[in-house]
Amino acid sequence: MNIKILGTGCSKCKTLEKLAKEVVDENKINAEISKVEDIVQIMQYGIMTTPALVINEKVAISGRVPSKDEIKNLIEKFAHA
C-alpha cells in the first residue's frame, strides 16, 4: 500500500503525516508513507487545499486533518478499492 501526504510543509501537513505514521505503526499496516511537497505534483491530484491524504493514488481526504480513527477507516476503505 502506498500512502502520500500532500502539503507544502505547514503545521497541518506535518500533523497529518505524524498521525498517518502512528495509525500505520499501531495497526501494523504494511504501507509506505511519503511526503509530497512540490506544488506542481500536488496540483496533479486536482486538490485545491492541503493537507491531503492519498491512498494507492486516490485522494482520500483534503483540506483538513482527520482523526486517527478516520485515517484508519480511510486506509481500510481504500486498501480494498
SS3 45: coil
Based on the residue annotation, tell me whether 4 is a catalytic residue of this protein: no
**Which of 20-39 are b and which e, b meaning 16 or more Cβ less than 10 Å from the residue's Cβ?**
beebbeeeebebebeebeee
- Which residue among 2, 9, 10, 18 is the active-site one? 10
Catalytic residue among 3, 5, 6, 13: 13
The total number of residues shown for the chain amounts to 81
Is 18 labeled as catalytic in the residue annotation?
no
Catalytic residues: 10, 13
